[in-house]
Amino acid sequence: MEDALPAFVLHSEAVNSAPMNGPPIIPGAETDEQLMQAYAQGRSAAFSALFARYRQPLFGFFRRRVPDPAHAEELAQETFLAVLRAASRYQPTALFRTWLYAIAFKILRAHRRKAAFRATFLGAPRELPEPAAPGSLDVEVMMRQAVARLDALDREVLLLREFEQLSYAEIASLLALPLNTVRSRLFRARLALHSLLAAPHVPAAPASKEAL
Amino acid sequence: MIATSHPVAPEDLMALLDGELTAEEAQSVSAHLDHCAECASLAQQFRAVSQSLSTWTVPAAPPALKETVLTQATQAAASARSDRTTPLVFWNWKTLAFGGAAAAAIVLAVGSFLFTSKPAQIVSERQMTEPQANPQSIAAPAMATPKPQVAMAEQREMNSLAAMDSRVAKDSNGLFQGAAVMALPSPPMPNQASFATGASARIKGKGIAASTGNAASFAPAPPMIARTVSLSIVVRDFSAARGALDSIIARHQGYSAQLSVTTEQNAQRTLQDSLRIPTSQLAGALAELKSLGRVEYETQTGEEVTQQHADLAARLQNSRETEQRLRDILAQRTGKIEDVLQVEEEIARVRGEIERMEAEQQALEHRVDFATIDLHLTEEYKEQFNSTTPSASTQMRNAFISGMRSAAATLLGLVLFIEEAGPVILIWLLILAGPAILLWRRFRRLHASA
């Protein structure tokens, strides 16, 4: 109605956040999969190119999911090192992106498990709300609070879709969920987020699980 | 907000925005979107959400991340060039080596346990070269021991009797001397006779010293010594040593009272022998035995039995004199039947005593005449290829069968364990389930909020 078809594509870093993604993909350059294979055959420059492409998205992936920035950096590094170790076993059957996020997600889960374990048995330090980034808007803070109030799984689906630009099928395989569940959860998460943003001052506490 | 009768499912609308629909579906949904205000507002909502989410920016990744990773990358690439598959192979090798070592250790442990617990195969044999010798040697002490005190008392009585009637003693002296000689066991070797004469000489010297003028019989008798030798010898060739032992025994006119041979598989063989060798030949026999191999230890004991023997001989003589007197009484005197019977009864008693003492004397003399050698032969053990080792196929078959057996035993053990411990485990599981569930819930909660 108001926009042409291109507007159907939702905002995402991969598409419209070129300045954050580091050097943009050079047109005509090799695909991620080719680069990965080249690296597996011993071309270290290929990995540098891959790293340049995915450094920021991967850091963002962890930064949005882990409260401590230092942890996020650590986990991103760990993911890249895991990629390095697994390079010889890489098979270009799946998209490199999917493969990378699968690894990242495993590492994230391991981190969460450890954190939860520590919290259970050692007592977690009360998590401080993340200090607003300099120059951040109120809108952004509100949005983050709203996202934090979503159901954990809904939130994960939403983040994977919005920021990592994974397809429904990729999300489904990553989270080991049926495709339809991914769709319905994503739908639910979006509507819930919309309503949370529309009425931000609803008392927060238990709403996170039963949002919508 | 969204009517259920709506021709396009709201999720499809979202899928369209996400680019997840096929071309056909996308066409129909987008066509609908153009006409439906409701759907257009929903699409607007989705876009607004995406837009607001896009404000969630992330600061640039710290440069340290770049350096660390890239350094690793170049290193890894270098190693990947040189040997890309090495880590895998190395890991396999390590695993193989470790697994092999562990398996070997288990096999060794189990094997050693099985072998040590295998019962030793003992071959024991008894060999009696002179079967009649044994009952004799056993019977004599058995007869001698029952009532020594009584015998002594009787003997004293008889001594006094003998002193009272010295004439009878003198008369019978010659007779008894001969009897003493004749009563001795038929000697298997010449020196027996000399012992016998020595013994009789002492009888004479003690009992009727004054009445005899034979100077030779007064010569001090050699002490009577019962010799016992313990000998432990290690031999190189067990079979040869055994043959040599037999020939030594035969040559010295001895015999083995008890012989046992132990032949354990894969162990040294041992031989335990109780030898009886004529005392005169003891030194020679010992020397020959020692030449069989290396002597590990040797002990010699000599028990002086001269006194014991003399005592026995004196008592024997007195009893004989008493018997003779009683016979004289029976022959010369007449009396009532009652008295006659009493005398006969007395004769029978004395006779029994005499025989018992004679047997005792014989046993004692046998001990003196035949020295005892307790011989312990041990083989110098050498590990050797055993020609009787079962063939490979037999061993494999045996191993297979025992393997199956132990597998069955393991299964049975498992079943037994489950039967035995199952209920207890179940109880504990029930007890622990509550706390575990609580912890898990807490874990999940924290996990979710993390």
What pLDDT is stored for residue A185 in this prediction? 92
Find the CB nearest B40 among A1, A55, A112: A1
Report, as an integer, the average pLDDT of B411-431. Answer: 93
Question: Is residue B376 helix, strand or coil?
Answer: strand
Determine the pLDDT at residue B49.
Answer: 87
Six-digit token pair at B4? 């259920």
Q: Calculate mean pLDDT across residues B335-357.
A: 89
Please provide residue B8's backbone torsions phi and psi, each rounded to the nearest 5 degrees: -115, 125
Q: B119: pLDDT confidence band, cut at 50, 70 and 90? A: very low
Q: How confident is the model at residue B428 (pLDDT cuts 50, 70, 90)?
A: very high
| Below-70 pLDDT ranges, chain A | 1-29, 123-137, 200-212
pLDDT confidence bin for B77, thresholds 50/70/90: low
ipTM surpasses 0.90: no
Residue with the bigger pLDDT between B429 and A27: it is B429
Secondary structure string (H, E, C) spanning A10-70: CCCHHHHCHHHHCCCCCCCCCCHHHHHHHHHCCCHHHHHHHHHHHHHHHHHHHHHHCCCHH
pLDDT at A130: 56
Mean pLDDT for B431-447 is 87
Q: Does residue B436 carry a pLDDT above 90?
A: yes
What sign does the dihedral B244-B246-B247-B248 (CA atoms) show? positive
Give me the residue from A55, A137, A144 closest to B61, CB to CB.
Answer: A55
Here the tokens at position A170 are 């990729």
Return contacts of B304-307, CB within 8 angstroms, 24+ apart: B304/B223, B304/B224, B304/B225, B305/B224, B305/B225, B305/B226, B305/B364, B305/B367, B305/B368, B306/B221, B306/B223, B306/B224, B306/B225
Burial class (CB in 10 A: 0-12, 13-18, 19+), B53: buried
What six digits make up the tokens of B173?
């002296």
The more confident residue out of A69 and B66 is A69
Q: Is the CB of B76 less than 8 angstroms away from the CB of A137?
A: no
For chain B, give the percent of residues with pLDDT over 90: 14
Residues 414-443 of B with CB under 8 A from A: 439, 442-443
* pLDDT the model gives residue B21: 85
| Confidence (pLDDT) at B425 | 93
**Per residue in B83-93, pLDDT tens?**
444 444 445 66
Among chain A residues, CA nearest to B440: A120
Which of B2, B12, B22, B65 to substitute to test the interface with A, most A CBs within 10 Å?
Answer: B65
Task: Give the β-pairing of B370-379 and B255-262.
Answer: unpaired
- B216 at the A interface (CB within 8 A)? no
Say yes or no for a CB contact (<8 Å) between A76 and B65. yes
Predicted local confidence at residue B76, as pLDDT: 65
Q: Which residues of B touch A81 (CB under 8 A)?
A: 69, 72
Among B49, B79, B84, the residue to mutate for chain A (most A Cβ within 10 A): B49
Alpha carbon of A60: minimum distance to chain B alpha carbons (Å): 6
Q: Using an 8 Å Cβ cutoff, are A53 and B44 in contact? A: no
Residue B427 has pLDDT above 50, yes or no: yes
pLDDT digits (tens, 9 = 90+) for B154-189: 445 444 444 444 444 444 444 444 444 444 444 444
* Chain A residue with minimum CA distance to B57: A60
Q: What's the one-letter identity of residue B199?
A: A
Q: Is the pLDDT of residue B95 over 90?
A: no
**Of chain B residues 395-414, which have a CB less than 8 A from chain A?**
none
The arithmetic mean of pLDDT across residues B212-219, rounded, is 44
For the residues B214-224, what does the mean pLDDT come to?
58
List Cα–Cα distances, B3 to A180, B8, B183, in angstroms: 20, 10, 140
The residues pairing with B232 across neighbouring beta strands, listed in sequence order, are B297, B376
Q: Which residues of chain B have a CB within 8 Å of the CB of A69?
A: 59
Residues ≥6 apart with Cβ < 8 Å to B52: A139, A143, A193, A197
Contact A42 B68 (CB under 8 A): no
Biggest CA-to-CA distance, chain A: 56
For B32, the closest chain A residue by CA position comes to: A1
Give the three-state DSSP class for B302.
Answer: strand
